[in-house]
Structure 1
Amino acid sequence: MSTALPERDGFAAVVTLDRREGPGGEVVLRQRGRHYEIIVNGCFLMDTVDGRSERLLVGAALDELDRTGPSARPSVLIGGLGVGFSLAHAVAEPRWGRIAVVERESAIIAWHRGGPLAGFSAGALDDERVEVVHADLLEYLAGSDGVRYDALCLDIDNGPDWTVTDANAGLYGPDGLAVLRHRLAPGGVLAVWSAQPSPAFEEALRAAGFSDVVTHEIAVARGVPDVVHLGRV
């Protein structure tokens, strides 16, 4: 049953549409006016208000691949389905070949398959290039199938310094970055979304052997800009 909360701070009332238990704790889908919010383990993850930085995550990775010569149908893995902006943007670009999206929360996948978020992923889950992988991202990347990608685009936390669960912190440290490097094809690009700039993560990328490390900033209405960190192997 939906639970309406009082209006506050000039925003529309919040309605809880669904809540389920997942590997990271409780996963909640809320509606605020015409927009939706995902809360994981009590931590705000993302909403549908403005998807510019999520689209930049994928677009900047492709631009970086093109910088040293256009790739023929490059492959991309998107870490985190979220509200669907990154996946929809990838599917709208015909130059991408194989597209994998890894999401550990079955609730989020269900909300896109005919649920309230289906309009934001715009049918992308049914594109013939797309594989939806229900798994923990780090466990999937550390697996033994040996598949490599031309681009890894990660948006599973609020950034390297603000993870949804403590376990995710390992993804941004030396061991996690070594796994990411191993899953990138030669010349491949890693792109990581963050709700705030992280100079420490830039240094961690360089220390892990990534080159051409750069940070793109996206202005937001309030507070520090969203960013996308990029690095090449």
Structure 2
Amino acid sequence: MKPYVKLGESKMSDGTVFSLHKHDGKFYLKYNGFDLMSTALTFSEEMLAEVGCQEILEGKATRPKHPKVLIGGLGLGFTLKRTLELVGRPATVEVAELMEPLIEWNRTFLVEHNGPLLEDKRTMIIQGDLFNTISGKPKSSYDVLLLDIDNTPDDLITAGNARLYSASFLAKIRDLIKPDGCVAYWLSEPAPKFKKCLVQAGFRVEEHSAKPHEKSKRARHCIYVAKRSR
């Protein structure tokens, strides 16, 4: 049996430990010793980009001349890779990633899987918390926000992420998107309470079931696409 090889490890200020491993040609990101994501299961993260960017890709008449997308959470780069494939050129895809070593792992180890995504001229990496990243941004800054940060609002990756689901933050991201733009959330499972919060914040919400793998029998993940309701 082929062993798991640890390529890197990083400990957050709250004690959370992330580590990157390679096994049988695949990469695995672990969170406190448990698998968080891997290059073996990329379907739902790619789907996040597809359903989120759908609105700006559907018609040439309404397509922005220079799409601007913000991704919250770099992960192993699956959503960024698919977004770059979809938006074409010219475009700007900003990525806010809290964990600096994860950015470095994407520049080094993960190039083997995804290619040099971070060297693409359309990619802008912002090392920092999403909350702080957007705090000074003006209204209508983005066509699309793609957020893949926590499993659900009730299952946070780091405790500080709780503020990303407050009423004031949801109001902020509603203002950040253009009138015909959207915010898309990747969730490990449906979160009805959060869906209600989005509606209360002035969004119309579409729910999409998402499989971990294209051939999976069950779609256990969920993507919420939120658009301005007024």
Same fold (TM over 0.5): yes
For 1:203 and 1:164, the matched residues in 2 are separated by 22
Alpha-carbon distance change, 23 to 179 in structure 1, aligned in 2, over 3 angstroms? farther
- Indicate the SS of the match to 2:149: coil
- Indicate the SS of the match to 1:56: helix
Matched, 1:197 2:190: yes
1:35 pairs with 16, 26, 39, which one? 26
Q: Is the 8 A contact 1:83 1:120 kept in 2?
A: no
1:217 pairs with 206, 209, 212, which one? 209
- List per-residue Cα deviations over 1:20-58 (Å, max 9, x = no partner): 233453221122322222224556432111211111111
Q: Which residue of 2 aligns with 1:116?
A: 109
Q: Is the 8 A contact 1:61 1:151 kept in 2?
A: yes
Q: Which residue of 2 aligns with 1:4?
A: none
Pairing of 1:16-31 with structure 2 (within 5 A)? 16-23=6-13, 25-31=16-22
For 2:90 and 2:156, the matched residues in 1 are separated by 29
Which amino acid in the other structure matches residue 220 of structure 2? P
Pairing of 1:171-190 with structure 2 (within 5 A)? 171-190=164-183
For 1:18 and 1:203, the matched residues in 2 are separated by 39
Q: 32-41 or 131-140, which moves further after superposition?
A: 32-41
- Indicate the SS of the match to 1:157: coil
1:154 Cα deviation from its structure 2 partner: 0.5
- Indicate the SS of the match to 1:163: coil
> Which blocks of at least 5 consecutive residues in structure 2 are unaligned?
none
- Using the aligned pairs only, state the percent identity: 30
| TM-score, normalised via structure 2 length | 0.86
Matched, 1:90 2:83: yes
For 1:145 and 1:208, the matched residues in 2 are separated by 19
Q: Which residue of 1 aligns with 2:5?
A: 15
Q: How many pairs align?
A: 220
Alpha-carbon distance change, 26 to 156 in structure 1, aligned in 2, over 3 angstroms? same
- Indicate the SS of the match to 2:30: strand
Matched, 1:162 2:152: no
2:138 pairs with 146, 150, 161, which one? 146
| TM-score, normalised via structure 1 length | 0.85
- Indicate the SS of the match to 1:92: helix
- Indicate the SS of the match to 2:9: strand
Which amino acid in the other structure matches residue 183 of structure 2? L
Matched, 1:133 2:117: no
Alpha-carbon distance change, 223 to 84 in structure 1, aligned in 2, over 3 angstroms? same
Q: Is the 8 A contact 1:78 1:153 kept in 2?
A: yes
Q: Is the 8 A contact 1:196 1:224 kept in 2?
A: no
For 2:90 and 2:200, the matched residues in 1 are separated by 29
Q: 81-90 or 164-173, which moves further after superposition?
A: 164-173
Alignment RMSD (CA, Å) = 2.3
Matched, 1:232 2:227: yes
Q: Which residue of 2 aligns with 1:99?
A: 93
Which amino acid in the other structure matches residue 211 of structure 2? A
